[in-house]
Amino acid sequence: MIILSLLLRWLATAKAGQLVTQNADADFNIESWSLDVHPSPNNTANFIFNTVHSLLTGWPGRRYRNGHTIVPGILPAGTLLYHGRGDPHVPETPEWTALDSELSTLYCGLFSEDHQGCWHLTLVAERSLKVLYFDGYSGLKFPGGTIDSQDVVAWGKIEPDNYSEEPRRISDLCNWGKQFGIDGFVRLHTSYEVMLCNFSAGLRVDSILHLKMPYVPQPANSSFQGPPIRPPPKMEVGIPLDAFGLEEILASKRIDEYPGEVRIQLDLHRLVSFYDISLAPSLVSTRFGQHRLRHRILGISQEDIIAAKERIADELAAEKWTGLVSGIDWPSWFHTLVQRYADRLELLYLDLNSTDCAEDISPIMRRIFVQLRGMLQPYNLFSVQPKIKSNHEKFWAEPVYRTCAKAYPPFVSAQATFTPAEWLMFSSLSTVNGEICRVITKMWADGVEYDLENTQTHDMPSLLRVHTQWKQDLDALMSWLDWTEWLKCAPACNFDEMCYLPISPYRVPGADPAEDWIIQARDPRPTCVSKHSR
């Protein structure tokens, strides 16, 4: 149990008794875990889990737009970057580049000076470029929190009124990044963009092509004969989804889901998150009672900003770029848990929701019970003595719960070399897996106690009580987990459609501009839209 004591020691010394008291349930002595104890409302294990599993994917970033996590990474030699503009010059100041030419050619047109032609640059990385990635919808320059994490790094404070001060932000980020040799900053736009600090450092211009405008937007008035009109991107109102054609949106679909943008290689073991309670304890109270949509870094104490910037600087030190010591493939450790449970929990949810109280629900209850038993099969110890038709105390089932909770993530000897970020991720995985185990074990134990599998006749009131309890337990678990895998178009889209979550500045077809999702920071709903322009 050396590993366990290492972990406990880290928890105890992680800058704070705070972690231990605030996240009191992040107690790794699993032997003491009980079926009745759920994570504290201030525990951020679920947010850290979702953040890590969402890195470099578009769908979750557009749902929860306010990023909290900063990760160093590299763009390998040979990566292509694109930039579009109105003149044939290579930028001499920090500027945007896109990983997808669908995005850069669109902007190429927007910056065209004669509305007929524009210049498109293709750059090749000649060495690996050092980048810093901001998660969330970090390319969206909007009030509401999408760029809080960038402000903290660039300015050491959040300037809520200055959300649109883009050239100053990027140039200050680059000035700050010089000491660490940072070449650029990665943000989610439609797809990913790289804000490059110096177009001549480590990059070669592969081509500068004079291109025809990629689109000819026609005014509503068809007798109009002049040059194509450049529609002003009025973000607040939105523009039709196919205003410029759909290439850019289709490109964004490619990175919507795991593994997302594979051309950027992140060093997760150097990740810094404002959801880390030991790093930013002042945010616990500003988040309290807030839906995740409204989580912001605004409100963080100056002390925590200094600590966070110090941690980021530590993680960017020259010797830290040499590679992962533990050798653990963190993305796959997270993805495995999602793969294992996302569909199963959803199926349980649908089955529980499919009953009609007027009919005999025992067949469906049996079916749900068999699913639960299947999920727990690897942990259903021979020694466990179920108390059938007991007084429903379920304590007999706790060994099953603890076996399930201990099974993932595994303790590995590489833990001796874990970085703070790796401990954070390990603790998040452990808490999230433990909570799934707790709820499914509790539900399964209900079924065992009512002998759901064998008894043919049940008294309906008891069965309905179990049903209600199951629904409550599963609803609570699924809203705590809040996996974006469950945010989907239902019914599924047709073959020539795509499931679309709003992308600025495009308006969802048929949506009322006055109820714009960006302004109101509501939970955006996905819609099926045609892959063809009208």
Residue number, 168 or 389, with CB nearest to ligand NAG: 168
Q: How far is the CB of 480 from ligand NAG (least distance, A)?
A: 14
Residue number, 318 or 350, with CB nearest to ligand NAG: 350
The interface with ligand NAG within residues 506-525 (CB under 6 A) comprises none
Neighbours of 273 (CB within 10 A): 26
Residue number, 355 or 469, with CB nearest to ligand NAG: 355
The interface with ligand NAG within residues 280-309 (CB under 6 A) comprises 284-285, 288
Q: How far is the CB of 487 from ligand NAG (least distance, A)?
A: 12
Strand-strand pairing, 184-188 and 129-134: parallel
Strand boundaries in 189-336, DSSP class E: 192-196, 203-212, 239-240, 265-266, 272-273
Q: How far is the CB of 251 from ligand NAG (least distance, A)?
A: 29
Give the integer Cα–Cα distance in Å for 56 and 30.
33
Q: What is the pattern of x (binds ligand NAG, CB under 6 A) and - over residues 320-359?
A: ------------------------------x--x------
Strand-strand pairing, 527-530 and 506-507: unpaired
Q: How far is the CB of 396 from ligand NAG (least distance, A)?
A: 28
Tokens of 127: 């060495």
Q: What is the pattern of x (binds ligand NAG, CB under 6 A) and - over residues 27-56?
A: -------------xxx--------------
Strand boundaries in 173-238, DSSP class E: 184-188, 192-196, 203-212
Residue number, 179 or 353, with CB nearest to ligand NAG: 353
Neighbours of 398 (CB within 10 A): 19
For residues 67 and 149, the answer to whether their CB atoms sit within 8 Å is: yes
What DSSP character marks residue 218?
A: P
Give ∠ CA 26-27-29 in degrees, rounded to 5: 145
Tokens of 274: 């404002």
Tokens of 340: 């294992």
Q: How far is the CB of 327 from ligand NAG (least distance, A)?
A: 33
- Residue among 192, 64, 184, 67 at smallest CA distance from 135: 67
Which DSSP string do the residues of 36-71 spell out, in sequence order?
Answer: T----TT--HHHHHHHHHHTT-HHHHHHS-S--EEE
Helix axes 45-54, 330-353, angle to 10 degrees: 110
Q: How far is the CB of 350 from ligand NAG (least distance, A)?
A: 6
Residue number, 105 or 427, with CB nearest to ligand NAG: 427
Strand-strand pairing, 265-266 and 192-196: unpaired
Q: How far is the CB of 171 from ligand NAG (least distance, A)?
A: 10
Residue number, 22 or 79, with CB nearest to ligand NAG: 22
Q: How far is the CB of 421 from ligand NAG (least distance, A)?
A: 24
Residue number, 27 or 165, with CB nearest to ligand NAG: 165
- b or e along 494-503 (b: 16 or more beta carbons within 10 Å of the residue's beta carbon)? eeeebbbbbb
Q: Residue 275: left if φ>0, alpha if ψ -120 to 50, beta else—which one? A: alpha
Give the integer Cα–Cα distance in Å for 137 and 530.
24
Residue number, 157 or 254, with CB nearest to ligand NAG: 157
Give the integer Cα–Cα distance in Å for 159 and 337.
38
The interface with ligand NAG within residues 64-103 (CB under 6 A) comprises none
Q: How far is the CB of 109 from ligand NAG (least distance, A)?
A: 22
For residues 489 and 526, the answer to whether their CB atoms sit within 8 Å is: yes
Give the integer Cα–Cα distance in Å for 9 and 280.
19
Q: How far is the CB of 160 from ligand NAG (least distance, A)?
A: 6
The interface with ligand NAG within residues 121-160 (CB under 6 A) comprises 159
Residue number, 159 or 497, with CB nearest to ligand NAG: 159
Q: How far is the CB of 304 from ligand NAG (least distance, A)?
A: 14
Residue number, 20 or 250, with CB nearest to ligand NAG: 20
Residue number, 253 or 525, with CB nearest to ligand NAG: 525
How many residues touch ligand NAG under the rule CB under 6 A: the total is 19
For residues 118 and 194, the answer to whether their CB atoms sit within 8 Å is: no
Q: How far is the CB of 197 from ligand NAG (least distance, A)?
A: 8
Residue number, 39 or 61, with CB nearest to ligand NAG: 39
Q: How far is the CB of 159 from ligand NAG (least distance, A)?
A: 4
Is position 22 an interface residue for ligand NAG (rule: CB under 6 A)?
Answer: yes
Give the integer Cα–Cα distance in Å for 470 and 440.
9
Residue number, 42 or 533, with CB nearest to ligand NAG: 42
Give the integer Cα–Cα distance in Å for 512 and 526.
15
C-alpha distances out from residue 159 to 297, 302, 307, 383, Å: 11, 13, 19, 60
Q: What is the pattern of x (binds ligand NAG, CB under 6 A) and - over residues 212-231?
A: ---------x-xx-------
Provide the binding-site residues for ligand NAG, judged by CB under 6 A: 22, 40-42, 159, 161-162, 165, 198, 200-201, 221, 223-224, 284-285, 288, 350, 353
